[in-house]
Amino acid sequence: MTKIFKSLSTGMLIGAAALATAAQAESGDTLASIKSRGELLCGVHPARHGFAAPDSQGNWAGLEVDYCHALAAAVFGDADKVRFVALSSQQRFPAIQSGEVDVLVRNVTATLGRDTALGLNFAPPIFYTGTGFLVHAGSGVETVEDLDGATICVAPGSTTERNVAQIFASRGMEYTPVVIENNKQLVDAYVTGRCDALTKDKAALPGVRAYDTTDPKEHVLLPGIFSKEPLAPAVRQGDDQWYDIVKWVVYATFNAEELGVTSENAEEMRNSDDVDVMSLLGTTGDYGSKLGLTEDWAYDVITQVGNYGEIYDRHFGPDSPVQLDRDLNKQWTDGGLLYGFPIK
């Protein structure tokens, strides 16, 4: 069974790598194309609550959706100039490689294979998580070891698919995968009992429990995180300017939180004499023009979308439907992994 998984994954990497070779970006082309089009094309997950999901009116919301808005704010000074392109696991890499989307902000784990063979460049991770399992309460399953012989629902072409194979192989355990591409059908297969467990990034499972089950109390997250999954925006290789813009928009949200600059006080903070705040908000230096943007690009990002803490709390904070402790997603000054490079 492990060989089958490896064959599928290798085949997808080879196919996507061939496509990447055929569609290298030229530096500066992406920003010029976005400005000419008048909107950013952002590849997102079709339905992962907390990260990206449309409501009944078709309005998208989620942490990754907000980073699409942040990029639009940096480029246009208008966070709404973005079109969301829902992409399945199989569609996401060809979409960014072919130029169907300008950036992929879709629960993509940054890995060496994707960075090289797929022709991608990864911005700093905007969320750290790992493989987790959701099981039916009353099933008697309390740890991952209790899943020996179980049926596991998993999406194809994901790092989670490979992780599950490794987790079970390393423990000498057997399982039967139920591999389903469509996310709704995958979740439905678990909810209706076709699978003993559903596996995804652990950060995605509270959303499934809250939104996709009739009684969230009947479903339990198993303890532990079983892999490293740094989720990061991805762009095509070859366009350093666009890569820099995506990278520094992410850093700007990190730095704003660290410096205490919020969507509410950013206007007032423009009068600050703190050189780091001045550089962030564009009241000193020419850091915007170095990126091909206006000098107040980060001010637009922060006032229209917020700093990282505001974004996180909006979708995973204590007042959100999908509540998750920040854990590794805290600032480095609070023991987390978020570390914004200095703007200077």
pLDDT in the model for residue 27: 67
pLDDT at residue 5, as a whole number: 32
C-alpha distances in Å from residue 232, one per residue of 23, 63, 110, 159, 333: 21, 12, 6, 14, 21
Question: What superfamily would CATH give domain 29-128+230-325?
Answer: Periplasmic binding protein-like II (3.40.190.10)
Assign a CATH topology to domain 131-227: D-Maltodextrin-Binding Protein; domain 2 (3.40.190)
Listed residue (130, 120, 124) closest to 98, CA to CA: 120
Amino acid at 295: E
Please report, as a single letter, which amino acid is at residue 22. Answer: A
Identity at 203, one-letter amino acid code: A
Q: 326 phi and psi, to 5 degrees?
A: -65, -30
What six digits make up the tokens of 283? Answer: 């009241």
CA 95 to chain centre: 16
Q: To 5 degrees, how large is the angle CA 80–CA 82–CA 84?
A: 125
- Which stretch of DSSP H or E encloses residue 258? helix 240-259
pTM confidence score: 0.85
Q: Which residues contact 200 (CB under 8 A, 6 or more apart)?
A: 131, 132, 134, 154, 155, 160, 208
Residue intervals in the chain for CATH 3.40.190.10: 29-128+230-325, 131-227
Q: What is the DSSP letter of 217?
A: G
Type of residue at 333: T
Average pLDDT for runs of 10 along the chain of length 344: 36 46 64 97 94 92 98 98 94 96 96 94 96 95 96 89 94 96 92 96 89 93 90 96 98 98 98 98 96 97 98 94 88 97 96
Contact 29, 239 (CB under 8 A): yes
Residue 177 is given by DSSP the state E
Q: What is the DSSP string of 202-214?
A: GGGHHHHHHHTSS
